[in-house]
Chains A and B, each alone.
Chain A
Amino acid sequence: MPPRLRALRLAVSFLSVHHASPITPLVAPFLLPVQQRSASILSSLSDTPGAYQKRIRKGRGPSSGKGKTAGRGQKGQHAHGKVPAGFQGGQTPLSITQPPRGKNKHVPFKVEMSPINLDRIQSWIDQGRLNPERPITIRDLTRTRCLHGVKKDGVKLLSRNADQLKTAIKIIVSRASASAIAHVEALGGTVLTRFYTPEAIKRIRARQTHPTISLEADPEFLSRAVRSGQVESIVATRAAMSDTEAAEKIKQVCAEIAAKYKYRLPDATSRKDIEYYRDPAHRGYLSHTVKEGESPSLFFKLPGEAKDRNRQLARRKAVKASAENRLF
């Protein structure tokens, strides 16, 4: 049955019911306006003035400024047709004779990092946007808009107005200047620099990668970096753990992180990067792999570790000579 009829049917019994309107006029008569219309904001909407540009219609009279030749000048190939952009009639063009050089030249291997200064971090802590109790990672800096975006290779910590920094912070970035490291550590804070690829930075911001833990991270760092409750906390110092134990613990932590995050945080592979992050002066995350007496450079080895070529050749010769099933 259509609703209209149903309403009518049931309403028959209510026809005699009188209901008084509960609303009484609450406004005094002298406030009654003479005329009143309802106008909505739709009639007064407009975009910002800069959004409106004058429309240029070429060839529509002299007063428009673009009449007659319509901005093409007089005669010639430009007026009647077109010329390839930058073409100089066959003469070697400017883009070849004077190419971009120096800082204007595009160098794909250049390292580009977003700078972040200590004064801005302190300002963010004062506003309550950054929490100094928790480690400050690239993700925290972008999420709180301390940084607006990150350049391709990461973030470098610099020390402009360093005396404005008053709190101890635990910061993990791509690089840090020596002055910035000194100022942070003078207040009791810690700086850790670690390797990030451009893709890793994107994924950290999209919460698809952990911001600080990778396969080659220091177990001591892991014990400080992991949040309690999220991952089983590992309280171990390097001295107490053997290499295999450390490897086991790292695997365990990484397995738990892999369950949460889709992509793993990559480690440095190129020699330059590995050497940079092995350096304790840079507070690199691989500095725990540098042995006593070793330098961060991969070129130099400890005296005991260098390969003894003569001994190696002699050993191989002995093995070959003693082999039973020799054909030649």
Chain B
Amino acid sequence: MATPARWAVPLLIRNPVCSRTITTSTSAHASVSDITTSVSSHIPPLPPIDNPWVHATIHSFPSLEPLLFRKYPPWKLALPIRRDILHRAVVYEADNARQGTANTKWRSEVHGSAHKIRPQKGSGRARLGDKKSPMLRGGGVAFGPKPRDFGTDLPGKVYNLAWRTALSHRFRKGELIIVQGRIDVPGNSRMDYVEELFRTHGWGRGLGRSLLVTLGERPMLESLLDPRDGRKTTWTELDVRAVLGMGRVVIEERALSNLFKITRLDGRIGPSTKLDQEEDDDWEEGEQEQERWEG
């Protein structure tokens, strides 16, 4: 069985990181640029203007053996990075994800009567009305939070562009792994199937974690996947924040094509848009997959 090569993913060390030196002084080995990966690592340039289409490797799962190249147009996977658009989309998603349930009692809602607690003049002390005033202990909050909707709007075409910009960015960094077939756990697997898979490919904790994007539900995968190693979503639950958040995105090819269909840059989607659906009969025999990977 051939060693699975990962063309689009940078070479990763097999051993865990616990063999680092404990010293805090600057040494010949330490270099500031290596402290954080992904952000400071070199972003390859865009393709040349006379040949803008890009080739993406489609891998098999779980061995990640490269199967074929697929050409993608620049408006899908070779968009220039627009940090401002990504920012707007991320803020929009975060706003709409807010619960907005913070609540406080204002002076009219605090339990108590409205009677004036001491006369206006004569006591020698400050004038006071009811004991629910925010100036007093036990009184209401002055303009405290109330449940409200923090949701904002973003033009659909800007959001679509942000989606494709995010996918383009991850692709250019080599952190988008496109997989043919299903990302799933075969029927007769061991309990540590997912753990071993992540350890082999260097997808788990300490190496940035991974997001697995599937076409449909994968209950077996969900139950075996440790949240410290990564996360799994269907393509419908995915958002731009998730695409940009983890160390890499491993996505099923048909899920990716569905994402491109609903994020058309001209905003035109309608009843005739054909989305790829999950079919039960394209799932290969679990045993065969297991043998191929382990043998």
Mask of A219-238 contacts with B, CB within 8 angstroms, 1/0: 00000000000000000000
A111 at the A/B interface (Cβ < 8 Å)?
no
A contacts with B: majority SS: loop
Tell me whether B241 and A42 are in contact (CB under 8 A).
Answer: yes
In whole angstroms, what is the CA distance A41 to B87 when docked? 10
Tell me whether B20 and A21 are in contact (CB under 8 A).
Answer: no
Tell me whether A7 and B189 are in contact (CB under 8 A).
Answer: yes
Q: Which residues of B contact A51 (CB under 8 A)?
A: 84
The distance from the CB of B113 to the nearest CB of chain A, in whole angstroms, is 33
Tell me whether A38 and B14 are in contact (CB under 8 A).
Answer: no
Stretch in B72-80, B133-141, B219-227, B257-265 with 4+ CB within 8 Å of A: B219-227
Stretch in A23-31, A68-76, A191-199, A277-285 with 4+ CB within 8 Å of B: A23-31
Tell me whether B84 and A48 are in contact (CB under 8 A).
Answer: yes
In whole angstroms, what is the CA distance A229 to B191 when docked? 63
In whole angstroms, what is the CA distance A2 to B222 when docked? 12
In whole angstroms, what is the CA distance A45 to B19 when docked? 33
Chain B residues numbered 12-47 whose CB sits less than 8 Å from any CB in chain A: 12-15, 17, 19-21, 27, 29-31, 34-40
Q: Which residues of B contact A34 (CB under 8 A)?
A: 20-21, 27, 29-31, 34
B131 at the A/B interface (Cβ < 8 Å)?
no
Mask of B192-222 contacts with A, CB within 8 angstroms, 1/0: 0100100111100001110000000001100
Tell me whether A27 and B13 are in contact (CB under 8 A).
Answer: yes
B245 contact from A3, A42, A47, Cβ within 8 A: A42
Tell me whether B11 and A26 are in contact (CB under 8 A).
Answer: yes
Tell me whether B220 and A41 are in contact (CB under 8 A).
Answer: no
Tell me whether B219 and A41 are in contact (CB under 8 A).
Answer: no
Mask of A1-26 contacts with B, CB within 8 angstroms, 1/0: 01110111011001001010111111
The distance from the CB of B76 to the nearest CB of chain A, in whole angstroms, is 19
Q: Which residues of A contact B37 (CB under 8 A)?
A: 36-39
In whole angstroms, what is the CA distance A322 to B134 when docked? 104
Given A8-B191, A46-B84: A32 and B19 within 8 A (CB)? yes
In whole angstroms, what is the CA distance A86 to B232 when docked? 61
Q: Which residues of A contact B224 (CB under 8 A)?
A: 4, 7
B39 contact from A25, A30, A40, A46, Cβ within 8 A: A40
In whole angstroms, what is the CA distance A56 to B196 when docked? 56
In whole angstroms, what is the CA distance A3 to B38 when docked? 35
Best-surrounded residue of A4, A6, A41 (most CB of chain B within 10 A):
A41
Tell me whether A21 and B14 are in contact (CB under 8 A).
Answer: yes
Tell me whether B11 and A40 are in contact (CB under 8 A).
Answer: no
B294 at the A/B interface (Cβ < 8 Å)?
yes
Tell me whether B34 and A36 are in contact (CB under 8 A).
Answer: yes
B interface, how many residues as a size bin?
A: 35 or more
A37 contact from B15, B35, B200, Cβ within 8 A: B35
A interface, how many residues as a size bin?
A: 35 or more
Tell me whether B208 and A45 are in contact (CB under 8 A).
Answer: no
Tell me whether B191 and A11 are in contact (CB under 8 A).
Answer: yes
A99 at the A/B interface (Cβ < 8 Å)?
no
Tell me whether B191 and A7 are in contact (CB under 8 A).
Answer: yes
B272 at the A/B interface (Cβ < 8 Å)?
no
Q: Which residues of B contact A35 (CB under 8 A)?
A: 17, 20, 30, 34-35
Q: Which residues of B contact A37 (CB under 8 A)?
A: 35-37
Of chain A, the residue at the smallest CB distance from B208 is A38
B1 at the A/B interface (Cβ < 8 Å)?
yes
B188 at the A/B interface (Cβ < 8 Å)?
yes
A81 at the A/B interface (Cβ < 8 Å)?
no
B146 at the A/B interface (Cβ < 8 Å)?
no
The distance from the CB of A37 to the nearest CB of chain B, in whole angstroms, is 5
Q: Which residues of B contact A14 (CB under 8 A)?
A: 188, 190
Tell me whether B87 and A45 are in contact (CB under 8 A).
Answer: yes
B244 at the A/B interface (Cβ < 8 Å)?
yes
Tell me whether A41 and B86 are in contact (CB under 8 A).
Answer: yes
B38 contact from A8, A39, A45, Cβ within 8 A: A39
Q: Which residues of A contact B193 (CB under 8 A)?
A: 7
In whole angstroms, what is the CA distance A38 to B204 when docked? 11
A33 at the A/B interface (Cβ < 8 Å)?
yes
Of chain A, the residue at the smallest CB distance from B87 is A45
B90 at the A/B interface (Cβ < 8 Å)?
yes
Given A19-B294, A39-B38, A46-B83: A3 and B11 within 8 A (CB)? no
Q: Which residues of A contact B189 (CB under 8 A)?
A: 7, 10-11
Q: Which residues of B contact A47 (CB under 8 A)?
A: 84, 87-88
B256 at the A/B interface (Cβ < 8 Å)?
no
Tell me whether B220 and A7 are in contact (CB under 8 A).
Answer: yes
B59 at the A/B interface (Cβ < 8 Å)?
no
Q: Which residues of A contact B83 (CB under 8 A)?
A: 41, 44-46
Given A21-B199, A21-B200: A33 and B39 within 8 A (CB)? no
In whole angstroms, what is the CA distance A6 to B191 when docked? 10
B4 at the A/B interface (Cβ < 8 Å)?
yes
A43 at the A/B interface (Cβ < 8 Å)?
yes
Q: 19 A-B Cβ contacts within 8 A?
A: A4-B223, A7-B185, A7-B190, A10-B187, A10-B188, A19-B294, A23-B14, A24-B3, A25-B15, A32-B29, A34-B21, A34-B31, A35-B35, A38-B209, A45-B83, A47-B84, A47-B87, A48-B84, A51-B84
Q: Which residues of B pack against A, CB within 8 Å?
A: 1, 3-4, 11-15, 17, 19-21, 27, 29-31, 34-40, 83-84, 86-88, 90, 169, 185, 187-191, 193, 196, 199-202, 207-209, 219-220, 223-224, 241, 244-247, 294
Given contacts A19-B196, A27-B13, 9 further A-B contacts (CB under 8 A): A3-B220, A3-B223, A7-B224, A10-B189, A22-B1, A23-B202, A27-B11, A32-B13, A46-B87
* Nearest 9 CB-CB pairings of A with B: A38-B208, A45-B87, A39-B36, A33-B34, A10-B188, A3-B220, A39-B39, A11-B190, A25-B14
